[in-house]
Amino acid sequence: MELWYTEEHTPTVRFSIKVKKQLFGGKSPFQQVDVFDSEEFGRFFTLDGLMMLTEKDEFIYHEMIVHVPMATNPDVRRVLVIGGGDGGTVRELSRYKTIEKVDMVDIDEMVVKVCRELLPFTSNKLDDPRVTLYFEDGLKFVRTVEEKYDLIIVDSTDPFGPGEGLFTKEFYGNCCKILNDDGILVNQHENPYYDSYRASMRRAHRRIEDFFPICRVYQAHIPTYPSGHWLFGFASKKFDPLEIDAEAWNALGLETNYYNTDIHRGAFMLPNYVKRELELE
Ligand code: SAM
C-alpha cells in the first residue's frame, strides 16, 4: 500500500510527499511530532501536521536565518535561539569561531530528543560546548533572563499553538530589551502568497517596527513550505543588512549551498505584491 504525507496549505490546496516509511510518531505535551523518510526529500520532520524541515531543502532555511544576520554584524558573540529544536540553526551558528555563547530555548524536549536520534544532519552540533539548551516557553524565558545578546533568532512554529506567543508585542518588546545596543532580531515570517498567512506576517512586521529603528523583510525559495516563497523578518538597533562587508564575510571561507553575499543583497529586494502587503495598515 502506498503511503503519502499530505499537508493542507489552504482549505483548497494540498501538498503531498510519497513516504517510504514513518520513523517516529508521538504526542508531546505541546504538539504531535512525526518523522518520515521519503525518496525525493529524504527524512522530514513535521509538527502538528506541518512541515518543519526536509533533509533535502533544510539548508536554505537554516543558512538564510543565520548567515544574513551574521554577515551583517560579524562581531556577534552571544546568540539566543528561540525554538530551533531540530538543531539546524545551531549547526550554522557553530561554524563561526567568533561566537562565544549560544542559548537555545525550545518549549518541547521531545523535539530535540527525536531530532538528535533521527535527524543527525541538523542536530549534530547541539553538543557544541558553547551551546546551552533550555526547555521552556520562549515567551517566558525572555521575560526574566538577565543575559544580554547580540543576536536573537526566532526559529519558531507558526503563530498558533505553542508558537503563538512568539509573535506578540510583549515578546518583541522583551527581545528588544535583552539585545545589546547594536543587537539584531531575525524571525521566520511566514509566506506572503496565501491569504491565510499574509495577515499574520503583516501583523508581526508591524509589532516589530514598534521597537526597532531598522526593520526589513527578506525572502528565500523553500520548496516544501507553503507556496515555496518564504519570508524572514530582520530587525536591528544599528546595522542595516543592505550595508554588508561582503569581502569580510567571503574571507571567512564558509562553504554554503544557498547563501552568498549576492543572494544576501538580492533577498531584500521584494516583489511588488509583498511590498504593498507590508505597507498596508
Ligand atoms: N523551520 C521551521 C518552520 O518554520 O517551519 C520551524 C522549526 S521548528 C525547530 C520550531 C520549533 O519551535 C519547534 O521545535 C517547537 O517546539 C518550538 N517552539 C514552538 N513554540 C515555542 C515556544 N513558545 N517557545 C520555544 N520554542 C517553541
Q: Which atom of ligand 1 is nearest to the CA of 89?
A: 9
Nearest to 81 by CA among 141, 144, 25: 141
Residue with cell 512568539: 166
The pLDDT, as a whole number, for residue 161 is 84
Q: b/e per residue, 80-92, with b = 16+ CB within 10 A?
A: bbbbbbbbbbbbb
Does this model's pTM top 0.95? yes
Rounded to whole angstroms, the Cα distance separating 163 from 85 reads 13
Q: Phi, psi at residue 150, to the nearest 5°?
A: -95, -25
Domains within the chain, CATH numbers bracketed: 3-54 (2.30.140.10), 57-280 (3.40.50.150)
Q: Name the residue with higher pLDDT: 25 or 1.
A: 25
Annotated binding-site residue? 137 = yes
Instruction: Kindly state if the Cβ of 156 falls inside 6 Å of ligand 1.
Output: yes
Residue with cell 523583510: 217
Q: Whose CA is nearest to atom 14 of ligand 1?
A: 85
Strand order of the β-sheet with 78-83 is 131-134, 101-105, 78-83, 149-155, 179-188, 229-236, 214-221
Reply yes or no on whether 195 is catalytic.
no
Check if the interface score ipTM surpasses 0.95.
Answer: yes
pLDDT score of 253 more than 90: yes
Instruction: Kindly state if the Cβ of 139 falls inside 6 Å of ligand 1.
Output: yes
Instruction: Kindly state if the Cβ of 142 falls inside 6 Å of ligand 1.
Output: no
What are the pLDDT digits (tens) for 135-162? 999 999 999 999 999 999 999 988 778 8
